[in-house]
Structure 1
Amino acid sequence: MNLSPKEWDLPQIIFLLLFITLLILACFWVVEPFILGFAWASMVVIATWPVMIRIQGWLWGRRCLAVIVMTMLLLLLFIIPVALLVSGLIDNSAPVIAWATSGHLQLPDLAWLKSVPMVGDKLYTGYHSLVAGGGSAMMAKIQPYIGRTTSFFMAQAGHFGRFMMHLGVMLLFSILLYWRGEQVGHGIRHFAFRLAARRGDAAVLLAAQAVRAVALGVVVTALVQGVLGGLGLAVSGIPYATLLTVLIILCCLVQLGPLVVLIPAIIWLYWSGNTTWGTVLLVWSCVVGTLDNVLRPMLIRLGADLPMILILSGVIGGLIAFGMIGLFIGPVVLAVSYRLLSVWMNESPAPEYDPEEAVEALLDEQEELKTNP
């Protein structure tokens, strides 16, 4: 018995699309509190999966023992230090906000310029002439913006309860992904293959490479430099060492390096007469400042090299969009998109002819269309 092809039923199609849309929105509504934590956990697991496999080999192939070891490593090396840094940032935020919004922010006197041999008096006189000529007025204009910017960054770190919830969710999902990582990865690849055949499968693998590049080459390097730099500040007796440690991590994430914070601390130690600890911090800063030249290439070789402007945009945009957790998720999102877009563009060869020839060819085609419509 031959059945005639069914005709299009427009109401049925509309209601079907409406039902699917409502189902997707409902699912998103349910899982929305866990999206950031799951994304964070995915980044951590993808970056550390080779380490987990190696540890599993050392532990007689027992996955449960490897998961326990990785969980302890995450707690000791990542979750507890990050939680302590954010907690310290909150504890020390009140004096910083009060100082930045007090309205008494003034340019320093810099009396030590007089002690500079030969040109000290000229430098001191020129500096104060510049201040008298408009420096104080300029500080008065930018004072409100300094206060607002400081308050914004402190407020992002101030949601400590929500941040700890994301850390807990990240740890829970990391354990589950470590335990069933192969099945989850196969399911994602199967879904991508169903969407776009081999191109979709390749896109998933490239995304994993981008995640590993950011997590290992950027985030891990920034955390290592930040922790070591903060340790040097604390040992040297620099006040607000915890707050400055967070600032070092931010500077390293945006590729400015730790010396942006460490050099003023060294100058302050020498200026206050503490030359011994100033010299110690100077030597330690040389080690911390050059560490990324060794550590980052070694780690980023496991993933893919990424432009600095991409990391900078991801860090700043992630902080504004998602808060403190966006420092880690923002660069990953942009890195994955960049890698997929780059591969898609390279599937077609770049134009080899001269730009002027291309413009002339286009103008000739337009003239032919006008003469032969």
Structure 2
Amino acid sequence: MSGPTRTDKIYIYFLLTMLLSALYLTYVIAGPFLHTIVFSGVVSLIFSPLFNRIQRRTGGRRTLAALITVLIIVVCIGLPLFFLTFGLVIQARDTFQALNVWARETDFAKLLDAHQLDQHLVWLREQLPFVQFDASDIQARLLEFSRNLGQIAVEAGRQLFTNTARLIFHLLLLVFIVFYFLRDGRDMVEKLRYLCPLRTEQEDLIIENIQRVARSVLVGTLFIAALQGLLGGIGLAIVGLPALFWGGVMALAALVPVVGTGLVWAPAVGWLLIQGQTGWAIFLALWCGVLVTSVDTVLRPLLLREASQVSTFFVFLAVLGGISAFGFAGILYGPLTLTFVMVMLRIYGEEYRDMLSDRCNCQPPSSDSES
């Protein structure tokens, strides 16, 4: 067969130019709401099993099933999370203001010379002889640290209250998009698959892997972090520390591998020791060291068993890189991007299996091998 004529090439180039222009204009229009759209898609994907179950109960009426699913999401998750965020910011402001007052008014020279800290300081000086424990320096550093954190908390609260209308708008937009994604999502996916030149099994591979990451890695990780924050907050409330704020910080710290929640409860135990509350310090150490930590040890293998093909190390790097590139939304974008890259590499390896095996003189990996 003869190659494409000049007229055919002009048509192809013109069509591609118009298509790229249309996609760019769509991005310009939808850009301000891109995060909301992506989060809506993930929320719809996570709650699609619930939607399917409700749809069967309602006789296949997708509009009614989508409406009921959205109401469940709003009542059970949206409203509690919204009010929790406001309460967390308010308690963060009060906590850092109280810490600032304590650091400014406490006589650290007398505190460091107190009998209850003598043995600890002697041990620290023996283990770290190159570190100088100067009371005035400690007081200045603590004061600066608390002041900076207090300013961050106050600024975050001011921004939150200032942008309340914008936040409410995006939440309402998320609910609206989730409704249509649940109702018409299957048709949307089919249209995208029609436009995609990949083979059906390759399209299925991409969709299945993204679903697995969204439901297993993201939901499992966030659920475990929230549960650890809740249990840690209960322990902090029992010992008399601000539970809402530090419990929320503990939930965020739970996303950090290895150290995790210890970034929060270990300093809290030290604070109780400084205050002379040894009994409560031992209780909090046991509560968090045994109960809170065991949540991650026991539940993570169960909730993330479907995502066992993704190394924890790579997930950790994906989360850190995503946060660095996209902010807090990187917790979602990082693992999804990692999954998409791994799937495309797998498709590339399978598509050019013979060529790659000939060049490296090695056996190609089996298609069902773990990543």
In structure 1, C-alpha distance between the alignment counterparts of 2:216 and 2:154, rounded to whole Å: 26
1:262 match:
265
> Do 2:209 and 2:339's aligned partners in 1 also have CA atoms closer than 8 Å?
no
Do residues 27 (structure 1) and 26 (structure 2) align? yes
Deviations 1:245-280 (A, max 9, x none): 332222122334323312332443454355665566
> Do 1:315 and 1:331's aligned partners in 2 also have CA atoms closer than 8 Å?
yes
Letter in 2 for 1:293: T
> What is the Cα deviation at residue 296 of structure 1?
2.1
> What is the Cα deviation at residue 116 of structure 1?
7.6
Which runs of no fewer than 5 residues in structure 1 stay unpaired?
354-373
> What is the Cα deviation at residue 58 of structure 1?
5.4
Moved more, 36-45 or 249-258: 249-258
In structure 1, C-alpha distance between the alignment counterparts of 2:49 and 2:251, rounded to whole Å: 25
Cα pair distance change 1:235/1:181, threshold 3 Å: farther
1:243 match:
245
Deviations 1:166-220 (A, max 9, x none): 433322222222222322333333333x345542342233222222222222222
1:70 match:
69
> What is the Cα deviation at residue 39 of structure 1?
0.9
> What is the Cα deviation at residue 237 of structure 1?
2.3
User: Aligned ranges for residues 8-47 of structure 1 at < 5 Å?
Assistant: 8=7, 15-47=14-46
1:123 match:
123
In structure 2, C-alpha distance between the alignment counterparts of 1:235 and 1:60, rounded to whole Å: 49
2:241 match: secondary structure: coil
1:213 match: secondary structure: helix
Superposition RMSD in Å: 4.7
Deviations 1:61-110 (A, max 9, x none): 5545543443243224432343334324433555678879xx98x9x777
Cα pair distance change 1:10/1:183, threshold 3 Å: closer
In structure 2, C-alpha distance between the alignment counterparts of 1:29 and 1:177, rounded to whole Å: 21
Do residues 233 (structure 1) and 236 (structure 2) align? yes
In structure 2, C-alpha distance between the alignment counterparts of 1:345 and 1:5, rounded to whole Å: 30
Do residues 292 (structure 1) and 280 (structure 2) align? no
In structure 2, C-alpha distance between the alignment counterparts of 1:317 and 1:128, rounded to whole Å: 37
In structure 1, C-alpha distance between the alignment counterparts of 2:167 and 2:344, rounded to whole Å: 30
> What is the Cα deviation at residue 12 of structure 1?
6.1
Do residues 331 (structure 1) and 332 (structure 2) align? no
User: Aligned ranges for residues 1-373 of structure 1 at < 5 Å?
Assistant: 6-8=5-7, 15-57=14-56, 63-64=62-63, 66-92=65-91, 94=93, 111=112, 115=116, 120=120, 122-123=122-123, 125-126=125-126, 130-131=131-132, 136=137, 147=148, 151=152, 158=159, 160-161=163-164, 162-192=166-196, 194-196=197-199, 198-239=201-242, 241-255=243-257, 256-269=259-272, 271-274=274-277, 278=281, 281-282=284-285, 284-285=287-288, 286-342=290-346, 344-345=348-349, 348=353
Moved more, 86-95 or 246-255: 86-95
In structure 1, C-alpha distance between the alignment counterparts of 2:149 and 2:12, rounded to whole Å: 51
Moved more, 40-49 or 161-170: 161-170
- The two structures have a TM-score, normalised by structure 1, of 0.70
1:364 match:
none
- The two structures have a TM-score, normalised by structure 2, of 0.71
> Do 1:113 and 1:120's aligned partners in 2 also have CA atoms closer than 8 Å?
no
Letter in 2 for 1:232: G
Cα pair distance change 1:352/1:82, threshold 3 Å: farther
Letter in 1 for 2:336: V
In structure 1, C-alpha distance between the alignment counterparts of 2:342 and 2:149, rounded to whole Å: 32
> Do 1:314 and 1:330's aligned partners in 2 also have CA atoms closer than 8 Å?
yes
In structure 2, C-alpha distance between the alignment counterparts of 1:112 and 1:346, rounded to whole Å: 69
> What is the Cα deviation at residue 150 of structure 1?
8.2
Cα pair distance change 1:283/1:30, threshold 3 Å: same
> Do 1:320 and 1:326's aligned partners in 2 also have CA atoms closer than 8 Å?
yes
In structure 2, C-alpha distance between the alignment counterparts of 1:333 and 1:22, rounded to whole Å: 25
Identity of matched residues, %: 24
> What is the Cα deviation at residue 291 of structure 1?
1.1
Letter in 1 for 2:27: F
1:253 match: secondary structure: coil
Which runs of no fewer than 5 residues in structure 2 stay unpaired?
363-371
2:254 match: secondary structure: helix
In structure 1, C-alpha distance between the alignment counterparts of 2:279 and 2:58, rounded to whole Å: 47
